[in-house]
Structure 1
């Protein structure tokens, strides 16, 4: 019986750690500051990105397009300086 070995993707693992850290940050924001910090939106975005990153991969084409979307999103964050949590 052949067992399939999961592929190691350090970039994907780094993104998962990043979004887990950001999710924890947004969850720690007290209720009276959540609106000012856009915590609900940030938390929803982190959950969405984590779900996409943790989803089983269906093929190389899907992985490449998903990685490009994530890369573009992270580039936009770095350019705008909006990732300060």
Structure 2
């Protein structure tokens, strides 16, 4: 029987993004633009999808797993190129 890998750091990130997602979903429609709720909600969903995908892997192939810092750097780089 295989014991699932336990990664407390990833589990903490999952809980964090689930709470943030609930926060963004609870913002009233008249305040969503001021709070950037649509972007925040999309970011949380993306992070949760990535964290869930890494949870389902068996851990042998980590070639496409990106750290949080790398992911945020990519977003900043992409957003910077749109404004130029």
Q: TM-score, normalised by structure 2?
A: 0.71
Residue segments in structure 2 that go unaligned for 5+ positions in a row = 73-84
Which structure 1 residue ranges, 4+ long, deviate > 4 Å from structure 2?
Answer: none
- Structure 1 residue 62 corresponds to structure 2 residue 62: yes
Following TM superposition, by how much is the alpha carbon of 1:36 offset from its aligned partner in structure 2, in angstroms? 0.6
Residues 71 and 14 (structure 1 numbering): CA distance in 2 closer, same or farther, change over 3 Å?
farther
Q: 1:4 maps to which residue?
A: 2
Q: What is the aligned-residue RMSD (CA, Å)?
A: 2.0
Q: TM-score, normalised by structure 1?
A: 0.70
